[in-house]
Structure 1
Amino acid sequence: MVATALHFGAISSVIPLNNLARVSKEGRRGPSTIPPPSAGPLFRSGSRISRAPATAPIIRAAAEVQTTEDALMKASTAADVVREFYDGINRRDLAAVEPLISEDCVYEDLVFPRPFVGRKAILDFFKKFTESFGTDHQFVIDNISNEDSSAVGVTWHLEWRGRPFPFSRGCSFYSLRVQEGKRQIVYARDCVEPAVKPGHSALAIIQGVSWILQQFPQLADWL
């Protein structure tokens, strides 16, 4: 009897009493108290066994995505993308320029009455532009901003065989966004030096137009 009592006492220290009752009544053990293997990795703390939250893999995946985006930010700055853009135009390599431009990019060249909308329209414009100039014409960047990760300002001029080309100075603004796993140009505006420079007469023209609008404000709807 003593041996039997010790035997059942040892079992009761391992198997809960409610499970013992189920074993004696149903001839099998009750439900296991060990968590299912899909809940996450086990951790032991003293005599207790616990399991990490099921959200741990999601948190790790999010951290990996953020790490990838941070690496992208460092590897390719907005100024780098714009430099690659000018380099591709100079080499007449539109295949290299294409991935730098967003599918829905808007490109404003103020020489033209309307902006070019969409990657295809912009590439068609630059194809005509590069075909109208020989390979002796090259864009030269004078200054470029580096501080902003999503916007870049550039001053530039055009050269022919290393010499400044007449009436070819300009400045451009570019807005960029990370999409499709890379940083792309989503908006651009070019302001080019005019061949005709009105000088002080431009102020008189502005003053005259302002006076007309003050007298006939309804004309502003035509602007």
Structure 2
Amino acid sequence: MIHTIPTFHFHHLKTDVHVKASITTTTSTLSLRDATSHSYGGCGSVPTVGGNSNRRVLQCHNPTVVVAIAAPVEIESASNVVRKFYEGINRRDLVSVEDLIAFNCIYDDLVFPRPFVGRKEILDFFKQFMDSISADLQFAIDDISEEDTSAVGVTWHLEWKGKPFPFSKGCSFYRLSVVNGQRQIVYGRDIVEPAIKPGETALVAIRGVTWLLQKFPFLADRL
């Protein structure tokens, strides 16, 4: 005869573990999502037969109950997602880039007058980029932040057949979120090195605009 135990919730675990058990006169096996080694009410975690490091069993003093624990699904790091984004663009592979971009992503390339809004519009922009630029022109990452799980900064430059391309240095910022179990880009901003560099003239221009705003404060409403 088979007796069914009600559903149990182990609230003291770091991850929410939901267990359904069926007890028989022989050993029963149950699946859990937590692959770490814990002790629950006299139960201990031990490897399964065969040495599979991704599966362990939770065995109790009651010899009729053995709980199999499946390894948790790892979410890719934010920096790896951004690296894959650049790799996909370099390969001119929009299919691989599509799932890295959130459906409602906003991509703000400051060369253009307004941001690109939504995955479709962003992919259309990159398709234009790929169709207009030779595949020999590639992004090369100079530096990328690794620590944050939701924000990534990148400095980069373009290379033509492995050689630095003139006036092509840039920096980008990406914000990421976990959407349906996958980390995706929800916001991006690109700043590209200008071909014309005003130098100190830029400071003169800023000083002049500041003077005008101080003399005529109502002009600030037109900015």
Map of 1:94 onto structure 2: 94
User: Does the 8 Å CA contact 1:78/1:152 hold for their aligned counterparts?
Assistant: yes
Please tell me the residue identity of whatever aligns with 1:179: V
Cα offsets for 1:21-55 (capped at 9, x unmatched) = xxxxxxxxxxxxxxxx6662xxxxxxxxxxxxx55
Residue 74 (structure 2) aligned to one of 72, 77, 84: 72
Residue 56 (structure 1) aligned to one of 3, 6, 9: 9
Counterpart of 1:149 in 2: which secondary structure?
coil
Please tell me the residue identity of whatever aligns with 2:18: A
What does 1:197-216 align with in structure 2 at a 5 Å threshold? 197-216=197-216
- Please give the alpha-carbon distance, in whole angstroms, between the structure 1 residues aligned to 2:87 and 2:34: 30
Q: CA deviation at 1:204?
A: 0.4
Map of 1:165 onto structure 2: 165
Counterpart of 1:72 in 2: which secondary structure?
coil
Larger radius of gyration between Structure 1 and Structure 2: 1
- Please give the alpha-carbon distance, in whole angstroms, between the structure 2 residues aligned to 1:97 and 1:145: 20
Higher strand share: 2
Corresponding position: 1:138 with 2:138? yes
- Please give the alpha-carbon distance, in whole angstroms, between the structure 1 residues aligned to 2:122 and 2:163: 27
Q: CA deviation at 1:71?
A: 3.8
Cα offsets for 1:33-83 (capped at 9, x unmatched) = xxxx6662xxxxxxxxxxxxx55389523983899996423xx11110000
Corresponding position: 1:219 with 2:219? yes
- Please give the alpha-carbon distance, in whole angstroms, between the structure 2 residues aligned to 1:195 and 1:174: 24
Structure 1 stretches lacking a partner, 5+ long: 1-36, 41-53
Structure 2 stretches lacking a partner, 5+ long: 20-31, 37-69
TM-aligned CA distance change 1:192 to 1:65, over 3 Å: farther
Map of 2:124 onto structure 1: 124
- Please give the alpha-carbon distance, in whole angstroms, between the structure 2 residues aligned to 1:65 and 1:206: 57
Task: Report the count of equivalent residues.
Answer: 172
User: Does the 8 Å CA contact 1:101/1:119 hold for their aligned counterparts?
Assistant: yes
Counterpart of 1:56 in 2: which secondary structure?
strand
User: Does the 8 Å CA contact 1:72/1:182 hold for their aligned counterparts?
Assistant: no
Q: State, as a whole percentage, how many aligned pairs show the same letter.
A: 59
Higher helix share: 1
- Please give the alpha-carbon distance, in whole angstroms, between the structure 1 residues aligned to 2:35 and 2:77: 16
Map of 1:177 onto structure 2: 177
Q: CA deviation at 1:191?
A: 0.4
User: Does the 8 Å CA contact 1:137/1:158 hold for their aligned counterparts?
Assistant: yes
Counterpart of 2:153 in 1: which secondary structure?
strand
Counterpart of 1:61 in 2: which secondary structure?
strand
Calculate the aligned-residue CA RMSD, in Å. Answer: 2.4
Q: CA deviation at 1:183?
A: 0.5
- Please give the alpha-carbon distance, in whole angstroms, between the structure 2 residues aligned to 1:129 and 1:196: 22
- Please give the alpha-carbon distance, in whole angstroms, between the structure 1 residues aligned to 2:191 and 2:71: 33
- Please give the alpha-carbon distance, in whole angstroms, between the structure 2 residues aligned to 1:125 and 1:192: 16
Map of 2:107 onto structure 1: 107
User: Does the 8 Å CA contact 2:174/2:185 hold for their aligned counterparts?
Assistant: yes
